[in-house]
Structures are given as C-alpha cells and as structure tokens.
Amino acid sequence: MVVIVNDRDVALFPFLTFLVIVCLNFPSSVHSRCSKNPVIFNFGDSNSDTGGFTVGLGLSFGPPNGRTFFHQSSGRLCDGRLIIDFLCESLNTGYLTPYLESLGPNFTNGANFAVSGSTTLPKYVPFTLDVQVSQFLRFRTRSPQLTLKGYKDLISEENFKNGLYIFDIGQNDLAGSFTYLPCAQVIEKIPSFITEIKYAIWNTHQHGGKNFWVHNTGPLGCLPQKLATAAQNASDFDEHGCIKSFNDAAKIFNEQLRVMCEELRSQMKDATIVYVDIFAIKYDLISNSAKYGFESPLTACCGYGGLPYNYNANITCGVNGYNVCKEGSQYISWDGVHYTEAANSVFASKILSNYYSTPPTKFDYFCNR
C-alpha cells in the first residue's frame, strides 16, 4: 500500500535535498532582464488554467487543491502553482487573470483564456480553442475602446501588437480519443487537431499578434490516470512503466505541431514562433526522478487506490474518500492527470533554459521588444 497521510511532519534530510534541487532548478525572478514586461495571452486547458473553469462555470476545485502555495482553492488543478505561474514570476509580472473573471479583474499584464477540459475539437463547444480565440478577439476589440474612454486595468493597442501569445493545448484531444478509439484511429485524427491550432495562431496574427510561444503535449502514457484505467498489455509498457502507444501518439502529434510551426515561420515573416518540447521536459523528470529528488514518479499524490498509481476514477482528488500525501513529499503527479507545484517548478526551469526551444529563445526575449 502507498503510505498516504495528512501529517505535516517530513523527514528533514530528504525534504531539504528536494528543496535544494527545486531552488537550483528554478532561477529567481529577480534575474529577469526585462525593462518592460510583455502582456501575455494564454490559450489552453487545465495545464495552464488559472481559474477559467471555476469562474466560467461557478464550480470550485476544493481542497486539497491549492494547499501548497495559495493555501486555498485557486482555480488551479494543482496543489500550488502551474508552469504559467512560474513563467510569469520569471518576468516579475503578476499571475494571469482568467478572461471570464468578473470580480475585480486586472488585465494590465494580459489575460488567460485557458479553461480546464478544453480541446481543439469539436468546434464551438465551450470552451474549445476556437471559442477561446473568439473571446480573445472580442477582448482585442473592446479593450482599446474602453481604454480611450478612461477605463483602467485594460490593454493598449501597442501591447496587443507586442504581446506574447502562448498556446498549450492538445492533451485532451488525444486523451479523449483514446477512450473510444484504437491507437491507429487516434493518430488519423491528429492532423485535424493541428489544423485547429494553426488556424488559431493565424487568426491572432491577422489581428496584430506577432510573438508566439507554442508548447507541445506531454507524455500521455505516463499519467497515473491512463496507467490505472487503460487496458493492460505488458508489451505496451516502456522501461519506465509508461504506455508506449499513448506516448507514441503524443510524439506524432508533437512532430506535426513542430512542422506546423516551421511552416508558419516561413509564411509569417514578421512573426517569432517558438516551439517548446514539453514532452522531453516532462519525460526527463519522470524517467530520471531520483536524480531530481523525486519519488514514485507514476503515483498520484492525491487520489485513491494504493500502489502502484493511487488513482481511481470513482474517487478522485477532492472526492470523499480520497487520500493525499504529506506536504513536502517528492511527488511528480498531483492527482493522476496534473502535476505538483514541485514538478511544475522544474518544468518551468527547463523552459527558461531555452535548451528545449526551437529556435533557442529565452522566455524574457519578448519583454524588451
């Protein structure tokens, strides 16, 4: 059985070792070279949703979500901060406000259109990528008009043109397809997902956007949720215990996304398009977890079911009966689908290194443009 408790006492040495590794991996935001921060517009799913689902549907992700950093529910499916939060910190700018936030929103540093559960297809179903872009276009039209009338906490025309547009979506398209289709048919659907992302980038470019930051999708076959619920086939597991066919589909998606970015660079001469290999970043942490000070890389911190995955689709994190690991534990997976703040901090540090970016580009490259 997995030892899952609520006691806050943590063995001192492992915790300090873990803390040092995280601190070394995540550069302090005080080192940002920004003289003027860009505004950020983010499109995506739960990997970067900072509260869109909560404010859009009036549903809260209750405790223990948010326990590590915010010490309360923050609208994030995580115990603390997401990758997008760490990226904002690296620029010394505030966390992104969900576009749908109606109570005291501040959009001076951008807006977050990401909503948990979002996909690229089908179109026009809240809150697919197409809907998120439509919301942005309305926001794009109205903000300068209202700014001229004296409204504050909005975005100027100049900042829309110089803003950074982040796209992080596609995981749910693949994951959802695998629930009812065999691998070969999932792969056949991938070009349609890529087409929607391409159209979204084109659409924002046609309305003045010229700086794009595109994340590929992570190792779907390493998620405890998939490992616990997929049909078991011993020949379909890799040396680290992940499902090869799921990861292979993610790699095919990522390769097509990379090619799409290359094509757009040749077509958008005035644009900067950076492709970021999130798959490699996440798989490296999972496959080398001990090196980074983590343990149980395929086990959810918050869930139900014991070893090896601590995931049960009927008793998920926050549902009556769930178990949760001790705060400070070195887990990579938070709830079987999403990652812990500790893992997200490592992911962010890798992104900021520019080693995983094509072309090699520092995240703060856009802040002085």
Catalytic machinery residues: 46, 335, 338
Q: Which letter does DSSP use for residue 289 in this model?
A: G
Helix (H/G/I), strand (E/B), else coil: 41: strand
Find where tokens 């490259």 sit.
365
Host H or E run for residue 110? strand 110-112
Residue 103 and residue 110: Cα distance in Å, rounded? Answer: 16
CB 102 within 8 A of CB 27: no
Residue 217 and residue 258: Cα distance in Å, rounded? Answer: 11
Non-local CB neighbours of 122 within 8 Å, separated by 6+ positions: 128
Read off the tokens for 168.
């992080």
Helix (H/G/I), strand (E/B), else coil: 217: coil
Q: Report residue 166 CA to chain centroid gap.
A: 10
Residue 132 and residue 166: Cα distance in Å, rounded? Answer: 12
Residue 344 and residue 142: Cα distance in Å, rounded? Answer: 34
Q: Give the other-Cβ count within 10 Å of 19's Cβ.
A: 14
Gyration radius from the chain CA atoms: 20
> Residues, the chain, total?
369
In 3D, which of 93, 79, 75 has the Cα closest to residue 39? 93
Give me the amino acid identity at 63. Answer: P
In 3D, which of 39, 90, 95 has the Cα closest to residue 66? 95
Helical spans, DSSP H, in 268-322? 278-287
First to last CA, the chain: 53
In 3D, which of 338, 233, 239, 242 has the Cα closest to residue 298? 242
